Amino acid sequence: MTTFSNLAGREDCDRYIRQELERCGIQVIEGERSDHPDVKTTVTGLLKIGDQEFNFTRLWYYYNVSGMIPIRIANLMYADPVGKTDIRSGGHCGCPAPTEYGSEWLHPDGRQGIPKDQEAELDRFIANDSFEASVKDKYIFTDTPEVDGCASFVRNYHIDSDLGLYIFVQTLERELVTGIPDPMFHRLWTTCVGTEHYDKPAWLSVEKQLRNLGLIKRVE
């Protein structure tokens, strides 16, 4: 296994980044030179699987990856010996499990699921005029997120090696296209339609995810 070289200050960084991305089957995107203080590259990576996109940005000795990874798939990657150390959920240097760090609960209407005890704290900030009252519209306060229709995702990873990057791509391509349907999405599908928080654009986004997982073929 080869860990990535530190490309900070390297004028020839684009050449290395193109090679790293292409070796793992990631599309190379050419653009304006990055204003990053250390890795000033014109190259980023893009992986498209169905309607989902994952973006890859090279930093010092790792890739910063953004995209919506269901917790089931995040756990599969963490179960791999290389994934456990080289594919870091939320970028945490201590490499905890994604269920412990880096994951969040999201409702199909776009709200983030957070513990109920945080509502009182947020109310105090609102009372002190630190936040607008409308900020609460971004959250669903729940201690039972699955019951309340939320699904867990990891939005960000740091990947430290070529093998880690390859495992990340291969796992996504296998699980998002041909994997066993995630029962979490089945609960989203069966519990959220018709609720008071129903929002059609947000629900269509969930529908796309259901299609990618092979759980549904079409929605009447």
Q: Are 213 and 176 in contact (CB under 8 A)?
A: yes
What confidence tens digit (pLDDT) does each residue in 98-144 have? Answer: 999 999 999 888 888 999 998 888 888 888 888 888 889 899 999 98
Supply the pTM of this predicted model.
0.76
Would 164 be classed as within a structural domain?
A: yes
Would 116 be classed as within a structural domain?
A: no
Tell me, what's the pLDDT at 36?
A: 84
d(CA 194, CA 24): 42
Tell me, what's the pLDDT at 204?
A: 58
What confidence tens digit (pLDDT) does each residue in 45-85 have? Answer: 999 988 789 999 999 999 999 999 999 999 999 999 999 99
Would 91 be classed as within a structural domain?
A: yes
- What is the overall mean pLDDT for the chain? 84
pLDDT at 220 over 60: no
What confidence tens digit (pLDDT) does each residue in 175-203 have? Answer: 885 443 444 444 454 444 444 444 455 55
Residue ranges making up the domain that contains 27: 13-108+149-212
3-class secondary structure, 120: helix
Q: Are 55 and 66 in contact (CB under 8 A)?
A: yes
Task: Please tell me the total count of domains within the chain.
Answer: 1
Would 218 be classed as within a structural domain?
A: no
Would 118 be classed as within a structural domain?
A: no
d(CA 7, CA 91): 18
User: CB neighbours of 63 closer than 8 A, spacing ≥ 6?
Assistant: 4, 20, 45, 56, 57, 157, 158, 159, 165
Would 82 be classed as within a structural domain?
A: yes
Would 208 be classed as within a structural domain?
A: yes
d(CA 129, CA 108): 29
